[in-house]
Every structure is written in structure tokens, then in C-alpha cells.
Amino acid sequence: MAMDTIEELFEHELKDIYSAEHSLLEALDQMASESQEKDIKKAYQQHRKETQGQIKRLDKIFKSLGQSPEAETCPGIEGLIKEKKVFMREKPSPELLEFYNIGAAQKTERYEITAYESLIDMAGKLGLQDAVGLLEETLQEEEATLNKLKAIASEFDVEDEDEAEMEDEQDEQPV
């Protein structure tokens, strides 16, 4: 079936982000369980709760369109999840995994921000002001989460194992 209207595109993209948000619930659980830093674990758990609220907002938008909420596989988010699985084959140290997850979460937030900006543009063109308001609320949460992740990443200290071993050896050498 050909897609010919902005209404059809909006519905398609709404189903795509609905799928993405559901996939991210599981990913956020996994990242929280992998985290050894209390503040970072808490950030993932908090964003998971926000994501549940975002799904409820999407449910409202579907309802306002007279539709049942429906997910359509989101290849973008699925690709980011696959990227993580491939990375895990490298058997990273817990500290390196923590740093990787922070970066992966930032990639995801940027993807979501772009998706929500596009949905807001379409909803505006379609005169769906209630949807615009709900989508803007989610966009603000996604932007705030990205800013938190950027702050966490800037403060995170990953020490290279080879560098740490060299420092240990230098500490042991007599002067």
C-alpha cells in the first residue's frame, strides 16, 4: 500500500516511536542492572519511569486519532540495541561497559529527540494541537535526559588498564 498523505506518515512515525519507547523500557532495565554507579543506575531507573509516562502520552494521541495504540518495528532503535549486543561480544570491563552505556544512551536520546521534533512538526501541520502539546512534553524530557547524560559523561573517569598498570609499576620502582 502506497503512503500518500502526511496523515499516513504521522501515523507511521507514531507507531515507530511507540515501538521504540517499548524497546527502550527493556534496554533501560538492562543498563540499570549493569551499572555499578548508584547515581547512574538511578538515572536509568528514573528515565524508565519517564518512558512509561511517554508511552501513556502516545496512547492518548492514538486515542485522539480514534485508533488503538500500535507498534511498528523501529529499525533505528533496533539498530542501536543490536550495536550494544555486538559490543558485548568484546567482553568489556564493568567500568568500560558503564562508559559505553552512557554514550549509547546519548545516541538513543538524540534519535528520540529528532523523532519527536519531526512528529511535532507533522502534528502542527495537521492541526493536532493536543498531540503537539503531548509530544512537546516528551521532547522536553528527552532533552533534559540528554543533558544529564552529557554531564555524567563529562564527570566519568575511565582509566585505561595499560595506563593503570604502568602507573602501578612506576609506583613500585625505587627512586
CATH code, domain with 127: 1.20.1260.10
Question: Is 160 a member of any domain?
Answer: no
Distance CA 113, CA 141 (A): 9
- The count of domains in the chain is 1
Question: Is 128 a member of any domain?
Answer: yes
Question: Is 112 a member of any domain?
Answer: yes
Residue type for position 12: H
The reply to whether the predicted model has a pTM over 0.75 is yes
**Domain interval for residue 19:** 6-155
Question: Is 164 a member of any domain?
Answer: no
**Digitized pLDDT (tens) for each residue of the chain, 175 residues in all:** 788 999 999 999 999 999 999 999 999 999 999 998 888 899 899 999 999 999 999 999 999 999 999 999 999 999 999 999 999 999 999 999 999 999 999 999 999 999 999 999 999 999 999 999 999 999 999 999 999 999 999 887 766 555 545 455 555 555 5
Question: Is 168 a member of any domain?
Answer: no
- H-assigned helices in the chain: 6-34, 38-64, 75-88, 94-125, 129-155, 161-172
End-to-end CA distance of the chain, in Å? 77
Look at the alpha carbons of 42, 48, 144, 95 in this order and tell me if their dihedral is positive or negative. Answer: positive
Model confidence pLDDT, tens digit, residues 8-25: 999 999 999 999 999 999
Question: Is 19 a member of any domain?
Answer: yes
pLDDT at res. 161: 52
Opening angle at CA 171, ends 166 and 172, nearest 5: 100
Question: Is 34 a member of any domain?
Answer: yes
